[in-house]
Structures are given as C-alpha cells and as structure tokens.
Structure 1
Amino acid sequence: MRLFAAVLPPAVAVDELAAEVRELKQLPGADGLRWTEPAGWHFTLAFMGEVPEETVPGLSERLARAAHRTEPFPLALHGGGRFGDRALWAGASGRLDVLRRLAERADAAARKAGIDMDRHRGYTPHLTLARSRAAAVDLRPFVAALDGFEGGPWTVGELSLVRSHLPRGGITGQRPRYEEVGRWPFGGAG
C-alpha cells in the first residue's frame, strides 16, 4: 500500500483555503492546472511510497511513539510557493520548528520500520494546491496572489498515517483518493 505520514488541517482551515483557491481559479492560466481536492489537502511529513502490509504494524508503533514525543502546537495556512513550474502550494506559519521536528520523527519511524527513505529531502512545509498539466504554466502570479493569504490558527494535536489510492485506467479528471489508516494524539513528552 502507498503510504505517507501527514498533518491534516481542520475543516475550518480547509474552508478558508478553499475560498482563496476559488479566487486563484479565476486567474489567467488556471485552466492549465490540475487542482487538488480540498478533501485531500494535507501537509505530508514523510512520503513512504509502497509499503508491504506486514510492515504497517511496526510502522504504526513507531509513529505512535513519535506522536507521543510531540507537544501540540499552533499552525495556520499562510502564503504560498511553487516548486518550479510544476506545483503550486499553500504554506504555513506558526511553530514550523515543531512541524519540521515531527517530519524528522516520522521519517525516522519509517526508516526504523525498514522502509527505504532515500527519497527524503529537506522538509518544506507545504500543502499542494495544483500541478501543471503537460504545458508549463507560469505559477508566479498564483504565488503573488497567495502572498496576503493568512488563515486562522489551529492547534495540531495528532499525527496521521494516510493511504493514497492512485487513479486507475486513465480516466480523465480522476484524482487520487486518500484514506486515513492511523491516527495518534500528541503526548507532549518532549
């Protein structure tokens, strides 16, 4: 199964961002982007890729320990950025140091569970909003439009393990579907 560890924003934060995205979709070039669905918005902490089912119990135990060692922390959706001309994302503000430490802990949990995490790069907190279609779209106007966006703060209090179901059969417009397969509350044990 295809898995990743994530922080899932609450419904109120998703609603605030969805209103902003509706405005972004009015910008020139927006039809050249594949927009992600609000129901799937998340902050990926550690992408694990395909994981054998027998690995999941050990991974879950390690993620539970990582969550227990993390204190609840404030976070808000804020601004945005891009990865070249291939992905547009919303950023975050708040205790990004704790979010980065949680990403490191999730990565370490996966490694200790025997998952190859060589793909891991430096962590950039982001929530993907759109990806370029075949032709590149200049994402700079979209990033500029996101500059003033500041969602309301919320308290992050749990770590989630999410399964990604990729589209099958090349059906136009079909998007990945996400299923939360585990959730662990923070313990704040430092």
Structure 2
Amino acid sequence: MSRLRLFVAVLPPDSAVAELRRAVAPLHTLPGAGGMRWTGTDAWHFTLAFLGVVDEGLLPDLHERLGRAAHRTERFPLRIHRGGRFDGHVLWAGAAGGLDTLRLLAERADAAARRAGVAMDEHRRYTPHLTLARSRSETDLHPYVEALDTFESTPWEVGELALVRSNLPVAGVPGERPRYEVVASWPLGH
C-alpha cells in the first residue's frame, strides 16, 4: 500500500498570488536574500492541517470526513495581509478577513484527520500564514517584514477546502523544490 505526504489547505486565487508576487519581488534585493530558499508562487497556500505521511487505505474515510468539515463551514472572505516571521528562519505573509472561520476550518480539518486515523502532531494554536521563504541560519527578517507592512491583496471568498499532496524534491538536485498537487477538494457550505 502506498503512502502519501499530505496537508489540508486553502489556496489563494491567481489574482491574489499575482499581487503578492509583485510585492515580494523587491525583497529578493534585500541583504541576505540570496541565502534564503524562496518558495515558488505555485506553492503558496494557507496550510490548515499538516497530515504528514498517510497510508492510502485511510483516504476514503479521510475524504468523507474532510467533505463533511467543508460542508459544515460557510464560505468566508479572506485576503493576504502584511508579513511576519517565525524566529529568524521563516518569512511569511499573513491573512485577514474571516479569520475566525479560517481557524474553525483548520480545527475541523485537524479533527477530521484524527478521526480518520491519521497520526497528527500535537495540536497547536493555528497561525494563518503563507510561507514565502526559509533560511537555514538565523537571519534578520525585520526588513522583509517591514517591506510587507502595508501589503493587502484584493479580498476573495474562500469557497473550497483542498487536500494537497506534497512531492518532496529529488535529493541532490540543485534548486529542486517540493511540488504540490491537489488530490481532492470540497466546496464550502453546501
């Protein structure tokens, strides 16, 4: 039986990705930017629950439970909002709008995975973020966060929950990044 590396996410629309791409482009010229691993725009998403490696046999129950979680959650407004950091290692863009509903959806996705038998990490308070870059060493990310301080994407309505497969990069291939593929999605509120 095969095993898949999965996470549950909200995917921003192409228009919001394009706006963020324009805001992030100048950050590549800041001191230390060359030492950071920047995520590709095709990888930008708001992770709701990281499932890790999941046995394929759990997928039917997981799909059913995620579908129920999506159906019980109403559509909600969201926009990409400002920037932030986790220590000196991760630069991210935040979210604004229907954050209470986003957090509720994250809790429901986590609960759905647990009930389907997925061994989940310890539950932590959900911090909505879209990862822009990572640094292996401690980096002063304050200038990056400041540069994103006024960023606001055009709001959109979140209409679906996505189950995404993460295909890890091939070891030893320079510049290789994880590739993400939506394996299933469910409309919200139906």
Q: CA-to-partner distance for each residue in 1:130-160, whole Å, 9 max, x for gaps?
A: 0003x32211110111111011100000000
AA at the equivalent of 2:102: L
AA at the equivalent of 2:134: R
TM-score by length of 2: 0.96
AA at the equivalent of 1:181: V
Separation in structure 2 between the aligned mates of residue 13 and residue 164 of structure 1, nearest angstrom: 22
Q: Secondary structure at the match of 2:152?
A: coil
Q: CA-to-partner distance for each residue in 1:137-188, whole Å, 9 max, x for gaps?
A: 2111101111110111000000000000001222111000000000000126
Separation in structure 2 between the aligned mates of residue 94 and residue 125 of structure 1, nearest angstrom: 11
Q: Secondary structure at the match of 1:118?
A: coil
Aligned partner (choices 6, 11, 20) of residue 3 of structure 1:
6
Q: Secondary structure at the match of 2:29?
A: coil
**Consecutive unaligned residues in structure 2, runs of 5 or more:** none
Aligned to 1:45: 48
Separation in structure 1 between the aligned mates of residue 150 and residue 11 of structure 2, nearest angstrom: 22
Aligned partner (choices 8, 11, 28) of residue 25 of structure 1:
28
Aligned: 1:126 with 2:141: no
Separation in structure 1 between the aligned mates of residue 51 and residue 126 of structure 2, nearest angstrom: 14
Identity of aligned residues (%): 65
User: Number of aligned pairs?
Assistant: 187
Separation in structure 1 between the aligned mates of residue 65 and residue 157 of structure 2, nearest angstrom: 22
Q: Secondary structure at the match of 1:182?
A: strand
Quote the offset at 1:120 in angstroms: 3.0
Separation in structure 1 between the aligned mates of residue 147 and residue 71 of structure 2, nearest angstrom: 38
Aligned partner (choices 95, 99, 102) of residue 99 of structure 1:
102
**Consecutive unaligned residues in structure 1, runs of 5 or more:** none
TM-score by length of 1: 0.96
Aligned to 1:70: 73
Aligned to 2:186: 184
Q: Secondary structure at the match of 2:105?
A: helix
Q: Secondary structure at the match of 1:100?
A: helix
Q: CA-to-partner distance for each residue in 1:94-128, whole Å, 9 max, x for gaps?
A: 01000000000000000000111134311000000
Aligned: 1:173 with 2:175: yes
Contact 1:81 1:143 in 2 (8 A): yes
